[in-house]
Amino acid sequence: MNHLGDYDVIVIGAGHAGIEAAHAAATLGARTAVFTMSLDAIGNMPCNPSIGGTAKGTLVRELDALGGVMGLAADATYLQSRMLNKGKGPAVHALRVQTDRKRYHEYMKHALELTPGLAIHQAEVVGLEVENGRVKGIVTQLNGEYTAKCVVLATGTNLGSIRFVHGGVARNVAEDMARIGSPVTFVTLGDTTPMSREAMERLEAQKIDLRYSIRVPQNGVGLWLAVMDEKGDLAGSTSQMPDTEPLARYLQERGEEIVSGADSVCLEMDMGEELSEWIVALCQKYRKDLYCISANMSVVQRRPDLLRHTRCFICNDIEAERLLHHPVSRADPEAAVETILHYGRGMGLRSMVVTLGSAGSVYYDSITGDAGHCPAHRVEMVDSTGAGDAFFSGVVSGLTRGLSLGRAVSAGTRLAALTIQSDEACCPSLPDFWEEMRP
């Protein structure tokens, strides 16, 4: 974390509200900073760039009376003006102007630049720093830290629903397992950001053993930003991977101690080829069951041979097709079972489970001969985030308890169904889960 400034007031957003808040605070003598994701977006108007009207006109006049800049900007940049409701009494007369969008932006940007005591920053704010229930500053996407006595959020009116969900495949799996009563020791990497601290607190609240977690000054937590459309479907996404090198060094030093003391090991293979190879070798050395999960399949596709040493590999149908180089049918689960049996065993995989979305999942265990199709539970979906991680957690927890693969898959299916019925990325706390799963 890089400490880059101290202010009395920080304003996040440079639209109408942000501009007025920043200008007012600086004019009153407060050391003020305004943050915007783009300097070219300061005072950016919509396609119908109007100021005033029957309702907003009153606000514009109030701002003008208090020394605001919106009225001045409208006067300087309007293309046309009209007095509304002239056929009615003077109480409802309302002035409305149409402005030049480009000139309005330029005026507002220049007005902020000329305001004494006001700094303008182009940066994405990704977190608030909170201490003892009070906001003490902000954190930017590039790990810049700015302190403030007051933070004003002026992030707009058209953002829809914004939610921050703690996640990460491994973190979700650890939390899911703990919530269904499985003891978990979590080996992880964190940093000093508020987001990382809060994630660790969530894990500690579930009684997860974090003695092997390490912290670095920065870039210890990955981020995934998802943009959803009005139907709730994924419209786009971007991600930032953490720097896993410190964790790799730590596992080289403490890996033998960690693996030898475990009953079984779950590995997120996306952390890197060498690290995955090291953990696989340790599990072989100490005869520990290994379960692997992968979010992007990059390591799995380069080193599919590592999967031969796993107790069970669990993935979705798209990932299975990339691994097996053969289509896996959602429409015909029986054909999907035959596909993974033929191609999975051909790759030397001891057992495999493939989820098929609403069609359920298919599985096989070459040791026991257990193979088949498990239908999905029909439930009202709220949010599918974390459903795959919950499924993995249920299957692995079932196998570690001695269940057959078929019954373990049933447990994973139920856990995934419970997860998608809430807006959390993890399953609810279910202390009696395994009692209820008894046949």
Query: Does residue 338 register a pLDDT over 60?
Result: yes
- At residue 45, the pLDDT reads 87
**Is the pLDDT assigned to residue 232 strictly greater than 70?**
no
Q: State the pLDDT at residue 160.
A: 56
Backbone phi and psi for residue 183, each to the nearest 5 degrees, phi listed first: -70, 135
Tell me which residue of 134, 128, 116 sits closest to 22, measured CA to CA.
Answer: 116
How many Cβ atoms from other residues are within 10 Å of residue 230's Cβ? 7
Using alpha carbons only, how large is the chain's radius of gyration in Å? Answer: 28
Provide the b/e sequence for 305-342 (b: ≥16 CB within 10 Å).
Answer: ebbebbbbbbbbbebbbebbeeebbbeebeebbebbbe
Give the pLDDT confidence of 57-101 residue by residue, as tens digits. 888 989 999 999 999 999 999 999 889 888 898 888 889 999 999
pLDDT of amino acid 218: 78
Q: Are strands 214-216 and 189-191 parallel, antiparallel or unpaired?
A: parallel
Quickly list DSSP for 53-110: -TTHHHHHHHHHHTT-SHHHHHHHHEEEEEEETTTS-GGG-EEEEEE-HHHHHHHHHH
Q: CB neighbours (10 Å) of residue 198?
A: 13
pLDDT bin (cut points 50, 70, 90) of residue 55 is confident
Kindly state the average pLDDT of the residues 250-274. Answer: 92
The rounded distance, in Å, linking the Cα atoms of 384 and 392 is 14
Of the listed ranges 104-108, 148-152, 272-276, the least confidently predicted one is 272-276
**DSSP secondary structure string, 169-187?**
HHHHHHHHHHHTT---B--
Q: Are 114 and 48 in contact (CB under 8 A)?
A: no
Work out the burial of residue 11: count CB atoms within 10 Å of its CB; fewer than 13 is exposed, 13-18 middle, 19 or more buried.
buried
**Overall average pLDDT of the 417-429 stretch:** 87
Quote the CA–CA distance of 171 and 66 in Å, as a whole number.
50
> Looking at the whole model, is its pTM more than 0.85?
no
Mean residue pLDDT of the chain comes to: 88
- Residue 26 buriedness (CB in 10 A; 0-12 / 13-18 / 19+): buried
Alpha-carbon distance of 312 to 404, in angstroms, equals: 12
Res. 231 pLDDT band, cuts 50 70 90: low
Q: What is the pLDDT of residue 190?
A: 85
Higher-confidence residue: 125 or 48?
125
Return phi, psi of residue 398, to 5°. -65, -45
Report the length, in residues, of the chain: 439
Going by pLDDT thresholds of 50, 70 and 90, the confidence category of residue 141 is confident
Residue 352: pLDDT band (50, 70, 90) is very high
What is the pLDDT confidence band of residue 240, given thresholds at 50, 70 and 90? Answer: low
Q: What is the mean pLDDT of residues 116-126?
A: 93
**Which whole-number Å values give the CA distances from 298 to 268, 270, 291, 304, in the listed order?**
12, 7, 17, 10
Most confident listed range (103-117, 225-239, 380-394, 423-437): 103-117
Tell me the per-residue pLDDT of 145-204, one tens digit each, with 9 for 90 and over: 999 999 999 987 655 555 555 557 888 999 999 999 999 999 988 888 777 888 888 899
β-bridge mates for residue 34, sequence order:
11, 120
CB 38: neighbour CB atoms within 10 A?
10
254 contacts 231 by C-beta, under 8 angstroms: no
